[in-house]
Chains A and B, each alone.
Chain A
Amino acid sequence: MTRHIENESRRRFLKGSAGLTLALYMPWSMAQGTGSDGTNGAVETQDFEANAFLRIDEDNNVTVIAKHLEMGQGTYTGLATLVAEELDADWSQVQVESAPADASRYNNLHWGPNQGTGGSSAIANSWEQLRQAGATARAMLVTAAAQQWQVPAEEITVEKGVVKHSASNNEASFGELASAAAGLPVPSDVALKDPADFTLIGKRIPRQDSADKSTGRAVFTQDIHLPDMLTAVVAHPPRFGAKAGSFDATKAREVKGVVDVVEIPSGVAVLARDTWSAKKGRDALSVEWDEADAFTLGSEQILERFQALAESPGTVAEQRGDVEATLSEAAQTLDATYDMPYLAHAAMEPLNCVIQLTDEGCEVWNGDQMQTYDQSVLAELFGLEPQQVRINTLYAGGSFGRRAAKKADYILETAHIVKAIDGRAPVKLVWLREDDMRAGNYRPMFHHRLWAGLDEQGQLVGWRHRLVGQSVAEGSPFEAMIQDEIDPTSVEGASNLPYAIANFQVELHTPSDIGVPVQWWRSVGSSHTAFSTECFIDELATETEKDPVAWRLEMLAEHPRHAAVLKLAAEKAGWESPLAENEDGGRRGRGVAVHESFNSYVAQVAEVSVSDDGQVRVDRVICAVDCGIAVNPDVVKAQVEGSIGFALTAVLYGEITLTEGKVDQSNFHDYQPLRIGAMPSIEVHIVPSAEAPTGIGEPPVPPLAPAVANAIFAATGQRIRRLPLGDQLAS
């Protein structure tokens, strides 16, 4: 095996640290290691680094550099597919490596000059860029072959990693051509394939990360061990806005393995040689909290405030026609309120981060979701230039938006600990599940009120939607998106409701005096707007005795992609025929919802059973999705399955509540996750499309809650206007 060093950052990393010991714990250790000559030093070879996204070595390995965080959504597989398709590589020779933090090469094209992952944008923003990267490299390999074989480049074919000239009976692997290609000028105008010629895109390609994640070999932040590293567990204040007043660390320091105890802005950190000692030390701490600025409201008081705000008009986010006149003159008006709680992300890997100060600056190991922003906040804290902050982006054990920490909370906490010990050792911050659950940055609680006006024929002629909830963009790197007091992510899915309604108004109240930190959570605003809008539409359909599918379709004439997924889901669910009854009795019902988010269109039909004592079981969900070209249909299917399970958790159990400012939940016993026994069977139907790919990690989340609520109504006649379901149906 030929050894090589891919880039400057890794060379410095190895020089500045413990070489092979460290490499054992690095995800790129596969590409590194002891060579056949027994040495483990770095040897330069003639790798073909075609561009920032692609490297081909002499051993015929194609390494795709992934600029996006792999947090389960399958992006390593999807990004590599885009490159491999245009390169005409064989999938078995393709491997993926995480990009360094460098916005000049690896920015998210949808985020301007920022590297980061979110908004279901990874494949969408990379679609042209990574195919170009592959096509350009292919062209250079072909040119190299043409020069070697002295044949016209046009006569050369490339298939599954083999470059061939049939007439002269020449063929070569990419590896054999790598050195020659590396010396060629980079062409600028390379044509991309006709989609009809795709051999990988649109096919079922095995995931890049399956083997490592099925065998325990995948490396997460939690798994990083550096020489002399200390592990920190932090005592956090019991209320948001509080800070440490005084503390007594005598007993903590007596715990075997504890090395230091330091105060940081977010609490008191205990540093130890290992995690368990740090936890024991943390538990032995005695801290007096300074709660002068603490937030002390409970969630019931917050709700009361939201309800009071909903009595008055909010800032108008969207308006057409004359809603006030229409509602006052309508033949019939209806109104309803919907409530959705704070939700924790509760990824399986509790938040953690490793930071080490080096001669060159600072080095970070993290499942990092916003590299450019995190570089900037760490640079500011340490007095460095952003490029001196090196980030090793590792697999994230889930995120659902949480690792895109809007004020870099857990990352900064790690940095403050490093600073407090003068950088004398690398530090791994470990949040225990309770720390993770209670740290805030929740999906905001929202109170929605909707009014509808119907004319004599039962046509929907007026719609007013008033939302009350905190802004997630406020105080984040994306704050500039707030215009005229409207955070567009608060009203997305509501302000662009697709139904043809002549008089339409969406209003928003954004309370700024609630001290519970909030953040984006898988599907962001649509996680609450789909619920209220699609449930209310269903209520109106019932009121006017219309079929929920047919009526929606009538109002979606101008929105063919919404209509197409709705029709497909209804057809596949057998909407026109009655739902089979349960063998063991109990009530059954079927509900539907359709919603667009992140430019993808998703409709779901949920089938539920409700037992006599009010237990709800979602039996089956039929989902139709239009996400443009499905780069990897099986990954799309997996994201639909996972999104439905994730959304169902929130429907059935998900709720963060506060009592006098303290978060009530702490772990998985009181913040219940969906378990395997409650997982419905799921059918996924992907609409064939020639459109560019759009998001899939989030869009299947929003329709699930309203589809299930509407199904529960069909089964029981009871409307669900508050999530989670909890024991609302218990008799």
Chain B
Amino acid sequence: MNLYIETSWGSVNKYGEELCGDKVEILKKGEDTFIVLADGLGSGVKANILASLTSKIAITMLSEGAGVQDVIETMASTLPVCKERQIAYSTFSFIHIKHNGETHLVEFDNPDTVILRDGKALFLPREEYVVSGKKIRETHITLKPNDFCITFSDGVVHAGVGKLLNLGWEHKNVVEYIEKSYRKESTAFYVQNLLLQACKSLYMDAPGDDTTVAVCKIRTPDIAYVMVGPPLSAEDDEKIVNALINFNGTKIVCGGTTSQIVSRISKRELQIMLNYISPDVPPIGRIEGIDLVTEGVITLGKCYDILKRYESGSIGRDNMLNSKKDGASQLAQMLINKCTGAKFVVGRAINPAHQNPDLPISLNLKLRLVSDIAECLKRLGKTVEIEFY
């Protein structure tokens, strides 16, 4: 089975530094996912260069099939030697996850990567050997859906040093926190962001070191087919609706007229739910076989607001992603938590009412909203496609 690897990463710079001395590269090639996290020696520009070179070289060579030995030798000969310290140095963690979950993990001098299964950290037996004077730790494991792979730089392990915690956070405590805050429906973004928030708080907003977290969540692929708006040409109606009905994934319809078309062609009744959860969001509808039916433009606009709030990382009381049940919230919940990607099928028919200058809605607005939502989802680690009709 082809698994979907949802990825997300984030960084907080050392206090006072403009450039981050940690670098993460993520590459998806075909059915493989490659991730590299590098932590450059020192901080600022030098560290940034070291880390960038390391991660770039590593990801390029690995994705081309090079062996670990080759990669390290190349790095050793490429990295500029620091004049003061007379060494060229950057840590690295390579993660290669195949479409079936087979994972190859290679680490040098970074804190141990954590694999989380059902909320508990797995013990990873690691093989140690030396290449070009570097002590490498390697492991192989097959990951299953809903497993998390969490890798981070030293900044996380030292969070709080000199402030709240004498010895810093310490790896074992970081693992404990990850386990304690685990929630099955968390996205890769959520986990990465929460860890960074905790680090920021422990450092009291003045990190003593560049702090980076990269997270992969293994998921069974679930693409959402989102039909937005009637196609320009009525002849395409049947084609698109059939594609929707027969789609292997989550099925979403956005739009009043659109849902009526779907109802007509699929010969299934469209019911509108009269209970307004939120007076500003139009009610949702129901068609048998469709996962979610909402109104169009207004719902999409509000959904985008929710996605932006989620992305801004204001987790906690400001993030009501999981609790509300109105059309926009349900749409956001589905796109983020349930699905690993979205395929937007956007009809370009113009609703004459929307041309009324009194109303602030238009076709352009709808199209713009869809593309904004798509970009946001991509940044959150989802695969997105848009088709126009």
Query: Bound pair: A and B?
Result: no
Interface residue ranges, A against B (CB under 8 Å): none
Q: A-contacting residues of B (Cβ < 8 Å)?
A: none
